[in-house]
């Protein structure tokens, strides 16, 4: 589990959209995993099981956090227009972060699981709890959207 | 052959079945537009991986790592350690009985371990040995600095003598190396007084002697015989 931590954090930050919320999500995931450790079946993949916990927490609770954060950033960015550098002290989101934040949740998690975490489609579908075909189509839509937003950046 | 967008992405990810992969690979090789699509998918993947990789390379925050460490169980550990210490004490062959709390309270353990010219550690020095060798309870004078309180035999049939001295009484048992000091008590006499009385120190020593003794204390006759035999 400890060896899994760096990857879990990466997934959490990707889902939540920023390191602070990501670490909160990661912390909640560890706590829930420890509480439910008896439900983990020996011999199955601990990483998939833990990713699924994280993903479910994010769906259940993370949305509010993310939404709050987006509102906060939007206001701050607006206030910073024409300001004297106040904007720079606000949370700076990179192009990739911004593009990821604009993806619908189902596409974002599919993109992260396959393209960042390196899961096979089948494994990613099991974590999300959907058919492989569904995951595949979410992934393609997510990719298309990202390529559209990041087209110039590439 | 029609190739869906899903299949192009899956091809770029290496997620197609082997048969289908061969077909798509052939199509991609012959169609520059498809090849560009595949390249875009791979570039996007590399970009995302590069973007998120630093997070996984950061050290895990301490408060998270701490959640995963085995919970400390101080009580269990302490009990185990304490038990070990107790057993360590019990293993000390000649001091185990000192652990009796009432005795331990009034005993100063190892006040002196004489290091004489040829006296092994833990044995009476020449001066004390001389008294232990020569003095009989019945003969000693009240003004002697070191007085024999009584003599007895221990479980190993060694002769032991409980003695009282200004700077610390005790019990010594005769083995083949000399008079081994088995217990040392506080001095039985305050430096300021001329009166020799059986003090608390003597009482403790006698109590210990009672525990060590196998049978009653030697009477005058038995003591004399023991001395003639060199206390062996």
Residue B71 contacts A, CB cutoff 8 Å: no
Alpha helices in chain A (DSSP H): 5-16, 19-35, 46-57, 63-80, 86-89, 95-102, 105-111, 121-128, 132-150
Which residues of A fall within a CB distance of 8 Å from B65?
Answer: 2, 5
More confident position, A36 or B185: A36
What is the average pLDDT across A52-73? 71
Pick from A96, A136, A137: CB nearest B51? A96
- Per CATH, the architecture of A94-154 is what? Orthogonal Bundle (1.10)
Condensed to tens digits (0 to 9), the pLDDT of residues B125-150 reads 888 898 899 888 888 877 778 888 88
Complex ipTM = 0.78
> What's the pLDDT at A62?
57
How many angstroms separate the most distant Cα atoms in chain B?
A: 124
> What's the pLDDT at A131?
95
Q: Which CB contacts under 8 angstroms, 24+ apart, belong to B122-125?
A: B122/B180, B122/B181, B123/B172, B123/B177, B123/B178, B123/B179, B123/B180, B123/B181, B124/B172, B124/B178, B124/B179, B124/B180, B124/B181
| Sheet containing B159-164: order of strands | B147-153, B159-164, B170-175, B178-184
CA of A31: which chain B residue's CA is closest?
Answer: B67
Which CATH topology does A1-91 take? Rna Polymerase Sigma Factor; Chain: A (1.10.1740)
Q: Which of A132, A69, A125, A75 is nearest to A100 (CA)?
A: A69
CA of A124: which chain B residue's CA is closest?
Answer: B15
- Residues comprising chain A, all counted: 154
Of the candidate ranges A18-32, A96-110, B86-100, the one whose mean pLDDT is the lowest: B86-100
- Supply B227's token pair: 């001395």
Rg, Å, chain A Cα set: 17
Which residues of A fall within a CB distance of 8 Å from B55?
Answer: 6, 9-10, 13-14, 19, 22
> What's the pLDDT at B173?
93
Q: What residue spans define the domains of chain A?
A: 1-91, 94-154
User: Which span out of A23-27, A127-131, B152-156 was modeled with the highest average pLDDT?
Assistant: A127-131
Percent of chain A topping pLDDT 90: 45
């Amino acid at each position: 589990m400890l060896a899994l931590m760096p990857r879990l954090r990466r997934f959490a930050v990707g889902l939540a959209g920023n390191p602070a919320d990501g670490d909160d999500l990661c912390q909640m995931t560890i706590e829930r995993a420890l509480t439910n450790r008896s439900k983990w079946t020996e011999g199955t993949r601990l990483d998939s099981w833990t990713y699924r916990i994280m993903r479910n927490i994010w769906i259940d609770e993370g949305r509010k956090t993310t939404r709050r954060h987006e509102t906060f950033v939007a206001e701050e960015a607006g206030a910073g227009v024409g300001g004297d550098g106040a904007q720079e002290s606000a949370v700076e989101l990179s192009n990739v972060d911004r593009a990821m934040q604009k993806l619908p949740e189902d596409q974002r998690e599919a993109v992260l699981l396959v393209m960042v975490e390196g899961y096979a489609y089948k494994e990613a579908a099991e974590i999300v709890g959907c058919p492989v075909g569904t995951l595949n189509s979410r992934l393609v839509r997510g990719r298309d959207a990202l390529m559209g937003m990041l087209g110039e950046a590439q | 052959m029609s190739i869906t967008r899903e299949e192009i992405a899956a091809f770029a990810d290496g997620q197609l079945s082997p048969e289908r992969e061969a077909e798509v690979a052939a199509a991609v090789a012959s169609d520059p537009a498809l090849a560009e699509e595949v390249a875009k998918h791979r570039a996007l993947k590399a970009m995302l991986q590069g973007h998120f990789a630093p997070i996984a390379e950061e050290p895990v925050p301490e408060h998270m790592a701490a959640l995963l460490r085995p919970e400390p169980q101080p009580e269990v550990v302490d009990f185990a350690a304490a038990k070990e210490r107790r057993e360590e004490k019990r293993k000390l062959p000649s001091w185990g009985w000192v652990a009796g709390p009432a005795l331990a309270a009034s005993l100063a353990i190892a006040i002196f371990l004489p290091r004489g010219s040829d006296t092994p550690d833990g044995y009476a020095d020449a001066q004390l040995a001389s008294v232990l060798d020569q003095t009989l309870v019945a003969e000693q004078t009240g003004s002697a600095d070191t007085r024999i309180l009584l003599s007895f035999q221990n479980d190993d049939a060694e002769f032991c003598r409980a003695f009282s001295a200004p700077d610390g009484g005790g019990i010594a048992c005769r083995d083949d190396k000399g008079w081994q000091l088995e217990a040392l008590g506080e001095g039985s006499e305050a430096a300021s007084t001329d009166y020799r009385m059986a003090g608390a120190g003597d009482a403790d020593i006698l109590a210990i002697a009672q525990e060590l003794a196998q049978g009653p204390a030697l009477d005058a006759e038995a003591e004399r015989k023991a001395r003639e035999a060199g206390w062996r």
